[in-house]
Amino acid sequence: MNLSCHWRVLGDISAAPIVLIHGFGASSSHWRHNAGALAAAGYRVFSLDLIGFGRSDQPGLNRHFSLDNQLWSRQLAAFLEEIVQQQAVLVGNSLGGLTVLTTAALRPELVKAAVAAPLPDPTLLRPLPEQQSRWLKRLRRVIVTGICRLLPLELVVPLIARTPLLRVGLQGAYQRSIRCDRELQALIGQPARRITAARSLRAMSVGMALRPRDATAPLLLHRLKSMRNAPPVLLLWGRQDRFVPLMIGELVRSQHPWVELKVIENAGHCPHDETPELFHRELLHWLDRNLGSASAPGIGHQA
């Protein structure tokens, strides 16, 4: 099944590439305060709408693939191979951070550095069991799929997208008030109003709930740790993140000292959008320290 995706690019064609991956419910538009600044810092900036979000295709439940971080990682890897055509820095917010980590672990040859801001995965606190009987897996699949099919998402999603409920939910991701930020509310609400949004949300709910253990953050981090030439990994965390508390980032750092953690003050779950100046300062300083100047040549060739 062929799926189309929407993407943007900004910056000098000869500059080192950086690819920005949005979080859940967002799109490439959520990097509104970042693409220009990173291009001015010397990068060729790409931003991608993940399948199911933004202007990319929004598929429903499908027996040929699962809508989970493995699929998004394959999408990102294909984008790197076909469009970017060289090794790139990957930066992801929330779900985008998990997608970046997945890509770094499964396709490290495509990744110069991986940045998750932050890294959300409930298995970081409660890992999946190493082994589970076949009948339990089947039972779990039946229960999860059945519940998700019964949820009235075709009614709930438009209700949230077209009422103040959207702003109420979105406020939880921010430390500052977003009451007057109409642009933010529009860029989150518009994709959710698409007729295919509800079916895609159902598909990703099933996909993420049933993904294999190898696709969870603890196993991906372990895989990266075992690599001889793994790309460097940075976690950027808003101190006031209510969705994915800072203690999860501190737990990852304690278990994997090779992963760097930088805390951004006065920011919630979307530090790139809420405090972009601090976000850029931490990101660019880390990239300069680990990779050198943005103008350094990359691997391969530029499209």
Place of tokens 């931003």: 47
Contact 282, 105 (CB under 8 A): no
Residue 292 half-sphere exposure toward CB, CA atoms < 13 A: 5
Domain boundaries, the chain: 7-291
Task: Evaluate if residue 132 carries a pLDDT over 60.
Answer: yes
- Token pair belonging to 223: 């895989």
Q: Does domain 7-291 have CATH number 3.40.50.2000?
A: no
The DSSP call for residue 301 is -
Place of tokens 């300083």: 285
**Mean pLDDT over each residue of the chain, to the nearest integer:** 93
Q: What does the alpha-carbon distance between residue 76 and residue 174 come to, in Å, rounded to a whole number?
A: 27
pTM, to two decimals: 0.93
Higher pLDDT, 132 or 138: 138
| 51, amino acid identity | I
Residue 88 half-sphere exposure toward CB, CA atoms < 13 A: 30
- Token pair belonging to 179: 């009451």
pLDDT in tens, 146-177: 999 999 999 999 989 999 999 999 999 999 99
Q: Summarize the confidence of residues 105-109 as an average pLDDT.
A: 97
Q: What does the alpha-carbon distance between residue 92 and residue 117 come to, in Å, rounded to a whole number?
A: 6
pLDDT in tens, 230-244: 999 999 999 999 999
pLDDT in tens, 15-29: 999 999 999 999 999
- Token pair belonging to 95: 């779900």
- Token pair belonging to 80: 């790197």
Task: Evaluate if residue 70 carries a pLDDT over 90.
Answer: yes
